[in-house]
Amino acid sequence: MSADKFSNPVVRWIDHRLPIFTFMDHELNEYPTPKNLNYFWNFGSLAGISLVIMIVTGIVLAMSYTPHVDYAFQSVERIMRDVNHGWLLRYIHMNGASFFFIVVFIHIFRGLYYGSYKAPRELLWILGVLILLLMMATAFMGYVLPWGQMSFWGATVITNLFSAIPLVGDSIVTLLWGGFSVDNPTLNRFFALHYLMPFLIVGVVILHLVALHRFGSNNPIGIDPSGPQDTVPFHPYYTIKDFFGLSIFLTLFAAAIFFFPNFMGHPDNYIPANPMQTPAHIVPEWYFLPFYAILRAVPDKLGGVVAMFGAIAVLFILPWLDRSPIRSGNFRPIFRIFFWVFVVDCIALGYLGGMPAEGIYVVLSRVATAWYFLHFLAILPLLSVIETPRPLPQSLSKSVLGGNAMAGVASAVKEKVR
Amino acid sequence: MAKIQTLKQGDGSPNKGRRDFIVVASYAMAGIGLASVAWPLIDQMNPAADTLALASIEVDISKIEMGQSITVKWRGKPVFIRHRTETEITSAQSVQLSDLKDPQTDDERVTNPQFLVMLGVCTHLGCVPLGQKSGDVKGEYDGWFCPCHGSHYDSSGRIRKGPAPLNLEIPPYQFASDAVIKIG
Ligand code: HEM
Ligand code: FES
């Protein structure tokens, strides 16, 4: 590969010294991609674009935001009323966080269904879970910044989770607070970290992409492409498909920003923080609700915290829990049913996390929490042993073009050899 | 002795034992160096001197009627002061220790049984329990109730039901006079 493929002499001159154009051509243009990807494969690029939207709007918001307990709330109100286009920038950032999570959750469930976490993509998956963790930390600290009632009490409850750690718990909480309660030092450091962490996410996203491009995308059939007849170049085929998906995403995003900007928020966060009074019903942002439900389902402080972090920890070891060699759920008749039960279970946990912790809700939360862990720790390992998968197609081309595909024959041979 | 033997057995480098020692010692030094650089970077997050200095406050409790509570702010946290009624005191004193999750007698929690002074911070995850105002829900044990995840405290501020592990904390305080207490 040389710089010859570029006709522009300036590009050629640069590329010879710094092969950035070759790199981009390789990874974004000619990059061979399975030709049978469905729309669930749009959500990776959507997640990347969401991250960029958050960073751009965040940096401009930071130009008018004041991280001080006496001014933070007012400075956000000033952004909403007086700063030019401030309302728009804040509503984009605020709803952007929700949309980012919607996109990432769909992206993750895509991976769960099509077995994208299986060899050789284990590290790719683990980096993804790490991104989820960093996003959660970032969003949590961002939500503290406007210093409303939910900001303050959310920060109090979440930082107090660490007090459950035996022996050192209280010292850790004091260290996080920089005082004896959530106060100005806490707000200051949360702002510093909220600014930093998205850039750490960018770093992990780059590693995620390096790992992705090592073996290329998985696909709805879950078998590897056996040659050029099974792939198409990324550009223009998937760039255009991603753009189409993006336009739909942006339409929905704009609808939320302009017509229901506070739908996913909580009205109590428009009340300035009051350290002397907890709101009657505190709930975290919607994207934390399933985890919050797990926290509350366990009647013991340390146990609840362990279960909540455990809910994410199981995702890290998932590639070793599901030992079935078949990637795609399309060919796993029993897995498929349990997958959908699991989706319902997660939605149920989200609903229960938003309800008061009393009566029937507590019982249901416990059942749903037990199921969550059962799915990963018992059902998936068991299925990998007892399930009989349906026969796999011989190649991607065959599955796309039907039984009489010419290309299918050649690749089927290769498949056998492999 | 062991060392000398390794030296004698030899593996082409007569000073292997000494070299290993130097390598391990340098790693150890580098480790200590890194830790001592990291410590100020971490410890700066702990409470600063001026935060620590905001230590004590004085509160006039003579105006609190029996059956009334007030909330004051100390170290950024609410402190509950309640002038308890006779029934509250007797019911707090008559509880069996074996019924308690965090066993403590009422006597251990008060200086003067009439006045209960404690942090209004739920020992679960730090919400402020309800029960200070007359209209508030007081929970199943006629004390305080934390709405966040449903912890019930009795009229001595002891945890009776719910996820909180400990009784409401008693701050360090003393009676400066009959009418004034000094917290901190
Ligand atoms: C992973 C990317 C990010 C996520 C998920 C995120 C999330 C959030 C959330 C949930 C809020 C609270 C919005 C509200 O309710 O008002 C917030 C506020 C804020 N964020 Fe971010 N953020 C991200 C990136 C950034 C970046 C890179 C900056 C740059 C400094 C930034 C600066 C701010 C500021 C100044 C606020 C306070 C203003 C406000 O409340 O609207 N954010 N963020
Ligand atoms: S904070 Fe009081 S019950 Fe959880």
Indicate the average pLDDT of chain B.
Answer: 90
- Paired with B118 in beta bridges are B80
- Using an 8 Å Cβ cutoff, are B55 and B184 in contact? yes
Show contacts of A166-170: CB within 8 Å, 24+ apart.
Answer: A166/A302
- Using an 8 Å Cβ cutoff, are A411 and A229 in contact? yes
What is the best residue among B121, B125, B140 to mutate for testing ligand 2's pocket, by most ligand atoms within 8 Å of CB?
Answer: B125
pLDDT tier at B5, thresholds 50, 70, 90: low
Contact residues on chain B for A153, CB-CB shorter than 8 A: 127, 148
Contact residues on chain A for B78, CB-CB shorter than 8 A: 275-276
Q: Going by CATH, does the domain composed of A39-282 fall within 3.40.50.12780?
A: no
pLDDT at residue B11 in the model? 57
Question: Which pLDDT tens digit goes with each residue over B56-80?
Answer: 899 999 999 999 999 999 988 999 9
ipTM reported for the complex surpasses 0.85: no
Task: State whether B73 and A275 contact (CB < 8 Å).
Answer: yes
Ligand 2 — pocket residues by CB below 6 A? Answer: B 122, 124-127, 146, 148-151, 162-164
pLDDT tier at A412, thresholds 50, 70, 90: very low
pLDDT tier at B162, thresholds 50, 70, 90: confident
Smallest Cβ–Cβ distance between B128 and the set A174, A277, A300 belongs to A277
DSSP one-letter string for A244-275: HHHHHHHHHHHHHHHH-TTTTS-GGGGSBP-T
Determine contact: B172 vs chain A, CB below 8 A: no
- Paired with B98 in beta bridges are none
Question: Which pLDDT tens digit goes with each residue over A260-297?
Answer: 999 999 999 999 999 999 998 889 999 999 999 999 89
Q: CA A316, CA A216: separation in Å to the nearest integer?
A: 21
What is the best residue among A50, A59, A145, A188 to mutate for testing ligand 1's pocket, by most ligand atoms within 8 Å of CB?
Answer: A145
The reply to whether A77 belongs to the active site is no
Number of inter-chain CB pairs under 8 A, A vs B: 83
Question: Which pLDDT tens digit goes with each residue over A317-372?
Answer: 999 999 999 999 999 999 999 999 999 999 999 999 999 877 899 999 999 999 99
DSSP one-letter string for A357-376: SSTHHHHHHHHHHHHHHHII
Q: Which atom of ligand 2 is nearest to the CA of B129?
A: 2
pLDDT at residue B148 in the model? 87
Smallest Cβ–Cβ distance between B45 and the set A189, A275, A304 belongs to A189
pLDDT at residue A303 in the model? 92
Residue A197 to chain B, least CA–CA distance (Å): 17
From ligand 1's centre to the CA of A92, what distance in Å?
A: 10
Q: CA A191, CA A214: separation in Å to the nearest integer?
A: 36
At B166, list the tokens: 């400990």
Contact residues on chain A for B165, CB-CB shorter than 8 A: 300-301
Helix axes A333-353, A360-374, angle to 10 degrees: 140
At A189, list the tokens: 């450091």
The reply to whether A415 belongs to the active site is no
What is the best residue among A57, A78, A93 to mutate for testing ligand 1's pocket, by most ligand atoms within 8 Å of CB?
Answer: A93
Average pLDDT over residues A145-173: 94
- Report whether pLDDT(B141) > 90: yes
Determine contact: B163 vs chain A, CB below 8 A: yes
Average pLDDT over residues A241-251: 97
- Paired with B69 in beta bridges are B82
Residue A174 to chain B, least CA–CA distance (Å): 6
- Report whether pLDDT(A408) > 70: no
At A418, list the tokens: 């492999």
pLDDT at residue A398 in the model? 80
> Which residue numbers of A have CB closer than 8 Å to B's CBs?
153, 156-157, 159-161, 163, 174-183, 185, 189, 275-278, 280-282, 296, 299-301, 304, 356-358
Catalytic residue among A107, A194, A208, A241: A241
| Percent of chain A clearing pLDDT 70 (strictly above) | 95
- Using an 8 Å Cβ cutoff, are A304 and B163 in contact? yes
Q: Averaging pLDDT over each range in A389-398, B1-10, B79-88, which range is the top one? A: B79-88
Question: Which pLDDT tens digit goes with each residue over A22-52?
Answer: 999 999 999 999 999 999 999 999 999 999 9
Question: Which pLDDT tens digit goes with each residue over A54-109?
Answer: 999 999 999 999 999 999 999 999 999 999 999 999 999 999 999 999 999 999 99
The reply to whether A414 belongs to the active site is no
Residue A181, Cβ neighbours under 10 Å: how many? 21
pLDDT at residue B76 in the model? 86
Contacts of residue A261, Cβ cutoff 8 Å, sequence gap at least 6:
A91, A94, A95
Average pLDDT over residues B4-27: 75
Domain boundaries, chain A: 1-30, 39-282, 294-387, 390-418
Indicate the average pLDDT of chain A.
Answer: 93
Scanning B81-140 for CB atoms below 8 A from A yields 121, 124-128
